[in-house]
Amino acid sequence: MGEARDYQRLEFLGDRVLGLVIAEWLHADSAAPEGKLSQRLNALVSRATCAQVARAIGLPKHIRLGKQARDDGGADSDNILGDVLEALIGALFLERGFEASRDFVRKAWAGPMAGGQGQAKHPKAALQEWAAGNRRKPPEYALIAREGPDHAATFTVRVSVRNVGEAEARGSSKQEAETAAARLFMERYG
């Protein structure tokens, strides 16, 4: 019997290469302070942005999934798309080196970079600051539900600020659901 095969080691490597390329790009193209650069970096390497880029380059049709994952919509899962794209970057790095990886990332991320992705404050940070600025207790996040199989799970999170209100949202990760809930809260109450 052969070893179990997966893309986790390539994903690990690709994640680091992606982060370095985006950090180098931001540093070269912006005079923004570290905090703003970090904010943009985090948005540009986020699971949602990786999935967006994966869709834009047509990656979903090339992913091999088991029957269960296909039936559960795995080819459109932000988690799976992001992981596979990072693994692809890792494989490119091993096969062709840093320059080829940099060229690929710069081409594939041109849209999100030009679109100013990550320039706005992250919704959770914005909500935290709003609560403090309005002399409220910090927002509290609660996991309401987790549904579906591990590879295509959906999380429902509620955020509340005491004596103000609450908002619920869903996402393909707990963090994504928290971000969506914070964004919805700010739309309603901020």
Catalytic (active-site) positions: 15, 86
Question: Cα angle at 134 between 131 and 137, to 5 degrees?
Answer: 45
Please give the full DSSP string across 38-65, using - where no structure is assigned. Answer: HHHHHHHTSHHHHHHHHHHTTGGGG---
By C-alpha distance, which of 182, 169, 12 is closest to 87? 12
The tokens describing 187, both together, are: 């739309």
177 CA to centre of own chain: 11
